[in-house]
Amino acid sequence: SLQIRVRSTSSLRSLDRTIVGDVPFKDRHIGPNDADMKEMMGTLGYENLDAFLREVIPDRVRSNRSLNIDPPDGQTEAEVLDSLRKIADRNDSSKKSLIGLGFHNSITPSVILRNVLESPEWYTSYTPYQPEISQGRLESLFNFQTLITELTGMDFANASMLDESSAAAEAMSLAFSVSSKSGAKSKKVYLVDKRVHKHTIDGLQGRARGLGIDIVLVDALAADLDGAEINEVIGFMYQYPDTEGCLRSYTEVCAAVKAKGGIVCVAADPLALTLFEPPSKHGADVVFGSAQRLGLPMGFGGPHAAFLATIDKHKRRLPGRLVGVSKDRLGNSAYRLALQTREQHIRREKATSNICTAQALPANVNAMYAIYHGPAGLKKIASRILLLTTVLKLGIEAVGSGRIVPSAHGAEYFDTLVIEMDDAEQLITAAENECGFNLRRVGAHAVGISLDETIGLTDIAELLKLFAGFSNYSKLISDSFIEELVNKALVSGRPNFLKRSDEFLSQDVFNKYRTETEILRYMNHLKSKDVSLASSMIPLGSCTMKLNATTEMMPFTWKGFNALHPFVPPRQATGYTELIQSLEKDLANITGFDAVSLQPNSGAQGEFTALRMIKNYLKSISEGDRDICLIPISAHGTNPASATMAGFKVVTIKCDTRTGYLDLGDLKSKLELYGSRVGVFMVTYPSTYGIFERSIVDAIDMIHEAGGQVYLDGANMNAQIGLCSPGELGADVCHLNLHKTFCIPHGGGGPGVGPICVRSHLSRFLPTHTYAPFADKDAISPVTSAAWGSASILPISWTYIKLMGSSGLKKASIAALVNANYMARRLSPHYNIAFRNENGLCAHEFIIDVRPLKATADIEAIDIAKRLMDFGFHAPTMSWPVPGTLMLEPTESESKTELDRYCDALIAIRGEIAKIETGISPRAGNVLKMAPHSQLDLLAEQWDRPYTREEAAFPLPYLRERKAWPTVTRIDDKYGDQNLFCSCPKF
Amino acid sequence: SLQIRVRSTSSLRSLDRTIVGDVPFKDRHIGPNDADMKEMMGTLGYENLDAFLREVIPDRVRSNRSLNIDPPDGQTEAEVLDSLRKIADRNDSSKKSLIGLGFHNSITPSVILRNVLESPEWYTSYTPYQPEISQGRLESLFNFQTLITELTGMDFANASMLDESSAAAEAMSLAFSVSSKSGAKSKKVYLVDKRVHKHTIDGLQGRARGLGIDIVLVDALAADLDGAEINEVIGFMYQYPDTEGCLRSYTEVCAAVKAKGGIVCVAADPLALTLFEPPSKHGADVVFGSAQRLGLPMGFGGPHAAFLATIDKHKRRLPGRLVGVSKDRLGNSAYRLALQTREQHIRREKATSNICTAQALPANVNAMYAIYHGPAGLKKIASRILLLTTVLKLGIEAVGSGRIVPSAHGAEYFDTLVIEMDDAEQLITAAENECGFNLRRVGAHAVGISLDETIGLTDIAELLKLFAGFSNYSKLISDSFIEELVNKALVSGRPNFLKRSDEFLSQDVFNKYRTETEILRYMNHLKSKDVSLASSMIPLGSCTMKLNATTEMMPFTWKGFNALHPFVPPRQATGYTELIQSLEKDLANITGFDAVSLQPNSGAQGEFTALRMIKNYLKSISEGDRDICLIPISAHGTNPASATMAGFKVVTIKCDTRTGYLDLGDLKSKLELYGSRVGVFMVTYPSTYGIFERSIVDAIDMIHEAGGQVYLDGANMNAQIGLCSPGELGADVCHLNLHKTFCIPHGGGGPGVGPICVRSHLSRFLPTHTYAPFADKDAISPVTSAAWGSASILPISWTYIKLMGSSGLKKASIAALVNANYMARRLSPHYNIAFRNENGLCAHEFIIDVRPLKATADIEAIDIAKRLMDFGFHAPTMSWPVPGTLMLEPTESESKTELDRYCDALIAIRGEIAKIETGISPRAGNVLKMAPHSQLDLLAEQWDRPYTREEAAFPLPYLRERKAWPTVTRIDDKYGDQNLFCSCPKF
Ligand SMILES: Cc1ncc(COP(=O)(O)O)c(C=O)c1O
Ligand SMILES: Cc1ncc(COP(=O)(O)O)c(C=O)c1O
Ligand SMILES: O=C([O-])O
């Protein structure tokens, strides 16, 4: 027979590459083509790219190695999709996981899948800091908040947390901050019921250590809190239903804790809350949990939105983002992010939380899921699950195979049963191998089963057959047997205990979009209000709003990646293992480090994780007294916040106000001052001012000489790949934002992944996880609910790297530098470019300093930002890192045409400002002060402005063809903060 | 061992259904809920639905059976997706088909896949008859036309044809109409080169028979056309490259044909045209072909856009739709459908083509593919294919396994080789079983191979190993052997013969969207100009613009359905076979007929097919003289056009102008007049006037008594499912529009599927196909290029039926009737409802007669249609079936809220008209005459209109929150037709 099935050899593959065909992906990803690049070099006055690069990046910083990505020239989109399918196929998505523990099978309605999760208009938008062009997603997040307050019975909920684990930690922090604000600094004990999920308790440990809290596990059922130690208690946490499936109220324990000023925090299942009394009835001050089962796939752990809600009294302590209602210039109501002044970029080391990127996109899916089902629909789904659980319980009792936990204690149950039986191990094995079910191993002699909205009677029948096989039950598990059980369950009904009786979700929005047509139009209408990368460039400095290519995004919604429970046996997830290892390898290569953890699900989470590791490392080398973290004043607010949370004291290092460079003198004097207390130096490179600082290597050397570790904030990695690297600079650790540099879209404020890359001496401290196949004895406790945080978006970054290859990645970095410098050059006759290096160049971003315009024209950064909306553009980063300025990062993905269009807009605005300066336009009520202009505003009957309607709407010709409208006029921030509405009032 | 893997029994499944969980799909699909229905019954004055139905549908028409869909209560969305995955898995999509014959592997760029093919804004829009709210897709279709004219070298191209086969027939028709218009009615011979694809020639037969044309197959290489018969020739057709892969110019044959007034028609491969001289150089008058390989998956045959292009002289003979440029009221250029007066709904039996629904969505994908690659990119893709073909050719020559056709004749080749060899059969079998390639069987002793853009050197190496196995070649097919071949191919280069040297596609649009970001924004910008079902209801009478649910749409872009070549061995397509048989069964059940063909790819194509079958049936029972087709005056224009094309003479039957009912008296007298010549009666039921006519059964009886057949146009099937059926009414055949009743989206003007359902006496005449496993000796010749026309959209209708079940389908019909009657009732105080039954009720649609407003206010239907755009709405069907009226069909998918919003808009417009009638507004220049209003129009500095800007833009409050803007003002149709521009001028 023929011997012909030999697939591609690598030599044929590279020969094949020499035969040009389709445009390579890198040229789809990178905006300027070679001719554009040449033209831009001309504008900048350089012979060629090399000459330019030599003047952007200091020699001592520039890398002299090549990246080592396989294949070096990148795969084609077709090839990479093929590889991904094979990887996805190696994950066993055919098994039905009934493991529970916060992760459940769930049905994402197709219409929401396609029109939100797979829609670039939703997933490529940024956090809605510019509310006038973000009313769509703000409304949706507001719906999420309303959903959560209604389900939990709390007064305020934020716009999502990273996951249940970090929400638990934030709840504890809130309790801590309440008690320390009340002067009780000595209180340090946090009681946690032992029936909280183990991985949630694990996730609390790192945060507790950082804050100096003692976590005390208690059996809340038996707890006798009359003793003296109750005075030490900052709070008490329990779960509802708990890890054994029981719902209990613990009213007495709660009352005792509260009587002494403690805070009650409850981890709750949002679907259970549709049928069971909300914890607000039992004294809860904080309710948190994961909203995953409201319409999101498990995704091997994430991304999912968690929620955190609290009572009115603590509303200003809610971490993260909060959408509120305010009004615009015309008095129309409008959404915006409320209480922004609480954020860590303002409060820095005084912040109590470091959460920045959250889970906006998943939260929007949750909100739409709830809107589509409505209160009655959600109740029906939950009731069905409860009924099936009852049927299963009656069945197991009938076949007599084990002792069931919820009934034993007289507690209520919802979807989870724990069955104690000798043969638990064997049953779990049989379930996996013979029935295709993953059940939960609860110790050696119990099995857990959690049902969900995908389960039917057929599954129940199979489960009962399985149990019957492990008991003495000899009769047939027939259809009529099942029918009897169903009738019995129906007849017995539900006890009144803990039964929810109040109405919830009666608001209009949850009761009118019941058909696919209606919800499609609602989602479509919301997205039409927003500016995203699908409409125009978003040059947010430090945010790297680059292309999120469709090929990168596709695997995220494939079953092979999104159907897996995070705690399946590793043999069922070999595709993920392969992808994760490959991504870790490439990221280590790119950063010049030795080991990587993909666990942290945001940049800030990465910071916290790495700092905890450094803490433990220092302790391990008997340098545990090094408790100081040096941070330049220009750092992102999450740096000092993370450092504080990790147990460091923050000392600020100055920067030169003229050059933006790190003040090495100040660094030196702080090192002298704090000497052996210096634990770590956290620095962003290229600096947040957008400069490749020459002195970085000196600074790093100084820290190392002083015995400290160097942490490099990798937010600006997009300027570096293939050109230099944190590892080569000499740093010990860095975090990356895959949702910046590596193409995970921002999703309107998350999800993200913030991996940490470390030098070998730190690798044994990389975080572990209860359900992960790795666990170094020195590993720090986990920071996320799942071992690999937001696993199902890792294929995005993997795909990007494989598509670009070494050469493409490097080319992208260069284009990012060229694009930024080209824009700076075009704008420099019109605006003051704040910081440049000695050759007059910036890195991949730059700051325009508009502060002088305050005096000459009464114009501030915000006026320019709002006027840009009239040009169809999103503003640059406002007032960070320097207050009153604008920072632009075009990224490599923007074409020269688009850069020019943005420059033209800014130049036209400068012209409008000049008219104010010369007195042609008034200082008040001019087109900038009145910006942005909505349709309602411009079509008003009366018109007595010093400019025409057309000047307001179409200041440049391209707008006549392509205009994106702000849907409201300028929003009143103060009014909104003073009158805080963060959820829909009852209908 | 355990015996536990028994899956769902049907009794458990139905028990499961009794436990309510998620909202059933039917309640997602149907707009009004039970409470709404009750309220609407109240408005209409009926106790309950039964009472209402009794008065809508005559007793003698109403069905007394239940539908028999499995399962009767419908599957859930999750279940149906599960079933579909299993079906898709039974198709073998792992094989690489190199069969060619007009179907090639192709890469749909992911960004186009997601943002056009999978985007409801693109796929749910209607044919752009209302251009002011369709500028996006009009621009895209215009780009398609430009693409085609540039590639073919012709002057005019239309906006797509159904497929290559029907394009061939249309080309022949064009030749026929040219020669008959030139007075040469006796000319009847159409020469077709024998190297045209066999299935294309097959597809010509039916049309030729209908028109009385003799197709004469010739060997154009050998043809000696100096004989006398050349005078009889209306045209000559050849293929480029031909079915053996050869490109030749036949300049002399063409010249000879043209010298006698004949028309030269060329079937061309659009990708080959990027490298080879366009047929315009060789004398072609018409060039047609399939654009599939420009970015569309093969989809087991379709849907794909075919193209048809011609020279200036024949531009007004182009069938189908043609997008042209005109200008709007402000003088801005604007796109629109040109030459609408040529359409068959105007010309009826005088039309030369019946094409109505075409392939707009696929054509848009083709256009975007070309825009994304640009001329250089397309050439590179084609050059790579040509190079690989050369390598393969050199390799096969080197291993010495067979005689290769293209070289033998000294012709050029592009992508296809035909290799004559004794072992062809065995080689094809080995290719399939051992290498995973489907090769083409060319007779018994030759094999065909067509390469495409997905092929690489690895594939070439495998093919050569395969060939080596069938020759005496004993050396290894090593990488270096391949490398030698590549070098040889590169060195030898291309001969100049037939080499394309002119520039093409130099227009701006094909040269500026080269990055993913840029094309994403372009596609996004275009779609933002258009109104689709994703924005608001589109109550186009007779068009059934209902929900196209996402779950229905998803399988269409799955590999398991879209990767199959239509001519694979049936064993590789068992999933399709199962799905097709199941769909045929359900459609037969729904229509009350015995057999179904899913081949026709539009309603009009279905009409033609069925009429051809009836012709042959009549002949078979020796009634071949029955050449008359009776058609009511109210029929859709495609009916008489199809009848003429099928060889019938059309006789028109009157309708009562007051009731709209068929004039039975006229029918009787025509039957008396034509007696034994009556072949068929074509009627729409419920009538096009939107009434369930009581007399239909009488009419059918009369026809049958006269010996004729009854054809029921199923466009209005949406009013009938589960309530009555063509079969029970007594008809012999009907066609369905799956793109109306069965949820295939309209795609902006296609694709569609027009199955025919027949009584058993007609079943043996159902169309056959060369490459299909069915072929009754009486079967008529095929009407499409592939056996099942647009196979890959059949899952949409299958899914709809399975989701709805018998009960859901019936409920949908009822809701369609209720919705229409509710709207009619709400509008009746304000507008004259033209036709109603004796109980004052309509069926699923109704006509408002606005003709009297001409006299009272100088307002016509078009003014109301355009003013509706200012309200964010698409107009109803205008001027059909009654000139000067508007016909509304809300469908069951619209909610009561949306119906009310539309009624409110129409009532508000009536109020504006009343103001004209009472002299408050002027008769000219009022808000209706000036409608629609664009942003540019309303923001103009000057304002001297008799209404305010706000009145123009926001006539009702909801528009302040949700406004869709027409992007141009009213378009000047006459100007556009007089100055016909249908493609972009050269840059
Ligand atoms: C410099 C810098 N560091 C850290 C972060 C925090 O990342 P994340 O938002 O993912 O928590 C950001 C986010 O914008 C940043 O710009
Ligand atoms: C009554 C009727 N018959 C036939 C057709 C033709 O269908 P198609 O456009 O699919 O060719 C239509 C299309 O609108 C129609 O309304
Ligand atoms: O239409 C045919 O007669 O084949």
* B312 Cα to the center of ligand 2, angstroms: 29
Number of H helices, E strands in chain A: 35, 28
- A interface mutation test: which of B111, B429, B516, B963 has the most A CBs within 10 A? B516
Q: Is residue A751 reached through a cis peptide bond, with omega within 30 degrees of 0 on the bond before it?
A: yes
Q: Label residue B9 by pLDDT band (50, 70, 90).
A: low
State pLDDT tens for residues A880-900: 999 999 999 999 999 999 999
* A450 Cα to the center of ligand 2, angstroms: 52
In this complex, do B118 and A114 lie within 8 Å of one another by their Cβ atoms?
Answer: yes
Q: How many Å lie between the alpha carbon of A450 and the closest alpha carbon of chain B?
A: 17
For residue B5, is pLDDT > 70?
no
State pLDDT tens for residues B755-800: 999 999 999 999 999 887 777 889 999 999 999 999 999 999 999 9
Contacts of A535 in chain B (CB under 8 A): 521, 524-525
Note the pLDDT of residue A748.
97
Of A553, A893, A950, the CB nearest to B939: A950
Q: What is the mean pLDDT of residues A740-766?
A: 98
As beta bridge partners, residue B628 has B649, B678
Q: What is the mean pLDDT of residues B905-926?
A: 98
Mean pLDDT of chain A: 94
Note the pLDDT of residue B7.
43
For residue B98, is pLDDT > 60?
yes
For residue A586, is pLDDT > 60?
yes
Query: Which residue would you say has higher pLDDT here, B985 or B884?
Result: B884
For residue B226, is pLDDT > 70?
no
Please report which ligand is nearest the Cα atom of B685: 2
Contacts of A518 in chain B (CB under 8 A): 31, 895, 897-898
Q: Which residues line ligand 3 (CB under 6 A)?
A: B 205-206, 209, 612, 616, 780-781
For residue A95, is pLDDT > 90?
yes
Q: Label residue B2 by pLDDT band (50, 70, 90).
A: very low
Q: Left if phi > 0, otherwise alpha if psi is -120 to 50, otherwise beta: which for B100?
A: left
Of A5, A387, A517, the CB nearest to B19: A387
* A715 Cα to the center of ligand 1, angstroms: 6
Note the pLDDT of residue A770.
87
Query: Which residue would you say has higher pLDDT here, A496 or B900?
Result: B900
| Residue B201 φ/ψ, nearest 5 degrees | -65, -45
For residue B515, is pLDDT > 90?
yes
| Residue A492 φ/ψ, nearest 5 degrees | -65, -30
Dihedral sign for Cα B299, B303, B304, B310, please: positive
Q: How many Å lie between the alpha carbon of A400 and the closest alpha carbon of chain B?
A: 17
**Residue A276: CB partners within 8 Å, gap ≥ 6?**
A240, A247, A412, A414, A498, A499, A500
Cα distances (Å, whole numbers) of residue B650 to B309, B626, B644, B682, B733: 30, 12, 7, 10, 18
Of A458, A465, A549, the CB nearest to B516: A549
Note the pLDDT of residue A235.
96
Percent of chain B with pLDDT over 90: 88
Note the pLDDT of residue A408.
53
Tokens of B83: 């079933």
Mean pLDDT of chain B: 95
H/E element, A365: helix A360-399
CA distance A615 to A281: 41
Contacts of B12 in chain A (CB under 8 A): 456-458, 461, 479, 482
Note the pLDDT of residue B976.
87
Indicate which residue's Cα is closest to atom 1 of ligand 3: B206
Q: Show the 3-state SS of B178-223.
A: HHHHCCCCCCCEEEEECCCCHHHHHHHHHHHHHHCCEEEEECCCCC
| Chain A nearest-CA residue for B382 | A21
Note the pLDDT of residue B186.
80
CA distance A134 to B399: 65
* B603 Cα to the center of ligand 2, angstroms: 5
State pLDDT tens for residues A692-738: 999 999 999 999 999 999 999 999 999 999 999 999 999 999 999 99
In this complex, do B935 and A953 lie within 8 Å of one another by their Cβ atoms?
Answer: yes
Note the pLDDT of residue A625.
97
Fill in the DSSP letter of residue A573: B
Residue B229 buriedness (CB in 10 A; 0-12 / 13-18 / 19+):
exposed
Note the pLDDT of residue B13.
83
Fill in the DSSP letter of residue A326: E
In this complex, do B107 and A950 lie within 8 Å of one another by their Cβ atoms?
Answer: no
Q: Label residue B227 by pLDDT band (50, 70, 90).
A: low
CA distance B364 to B144: 7
Query: Which residue would you say has higher pLDDT here, A72 or A150?
Result: A150
Contacts of B516 in chain A (CB under 8 A): 28-29, 547, 549-550
State pLDDT tens for residues B314-346: 999 999 999 999 999 999 999 999 987 677 777
Q: Label residue B1 by pLDDT band (50, 70, 90).
A: very low
CA distance A894 to A903: 13
Note the pLDDT of residue A496.
82
Q: Which residues line ligand 1 (CB under 6 A)?
A: A 356-357, 542-543, 602-604, 636, 638, 684, 713, 715, 737, 752, 754
Q: What DSSP letter does each residue of B273-306 carry, written as one string?
A: GGTB--GGGGT-SEEEEE-TTTT---GGG----E
Q: Left if phi > 0, otherwise alpha if psi is -120 to 50, otherwise beta: which for B706?
A: alpha
For residue A7, is pLDDT > 50?
no
For residue B255, is pLDDT > 90?
yes
Note the pLDDT of residue B6.
37
Note the pLDDT of residue B344.
76
Q: What is the mean pLDDT of residues B846-867?
A: 98
Coil, helix or strand at residue A817:
helix
Fill in the DSSP letter of residue A886: E
Query: H-type helices in A592-675, by residue range?
Result: 603-620, 638-645, 664-674
Counting from 1 in the atom list of ligand 2, the atom nearest the Cα of B606 is 11
CA distance B519 to B511: 11
Q: What is the mean pLDDT of residues A475-500?
A: 91
Whether this prediction's pTM lies above 0.90 is answered by yes
Please report which ligand is nearest the Cα atom of B755: 2
Of B111, B456, B534, the CB nearest to A520: B534
Percent of chain A with pLDDT over 90: 88
Q: Label residue B4 by pLDDT band (50, 70, 90).
A: very low
Q: What DSSP letter does each residue of A64-89 carry, written as one string?
A: -S----SSTT---HHHHHHHHHHHHH
Query: Which residue would you say has higher pLDDT here, A476 or B603?
Result: B603
Residue B221 buriedness (CB in 10 A; 0-12 / 13-18 / 19+):
middle
Contact B633, B682 (CB under 8 A): no
Note the pLDDT of residue A4.
34
Indicate which residue's Cα is closest to atom 5 of ligand 2: B603
CA distance A583 to B236: 60
Of A259, A267, A264, A275, the closest CA to residue A291 belongs to: A267
* A289 Cα to the center of ligand 3, angstroms: 67
* A735 Cα to the center of ligand 1, angstroms: 10
- B interface mutation test: which of A37, A124, A373, A939 has the most B CBs within 10 A? A939
Of A22, A524, A963, the CB nearest to B534: A524
Q: What is the mean pLDDT of residues A197-205?
A: 96
| Residue B400 φ/ψ, nearest 5 degrees | 65, 45
Of A424, A429, A463, A419, the closest CA to residue A445 belongs to: A424
Q: What is the mean pLDDT of residues A578-605?
A: 98
Query: H-type helices in B679-746, by residue range?
Result: 696-705, 726-729
Q: Label residue A3 by pLDDT band (50, 70, 90).
A: very low
- A interface mutation test: which of B17, B19, B365 has the most A CBs within 10 A? B19
Contact B435, B463 (CB under 8 A): yes
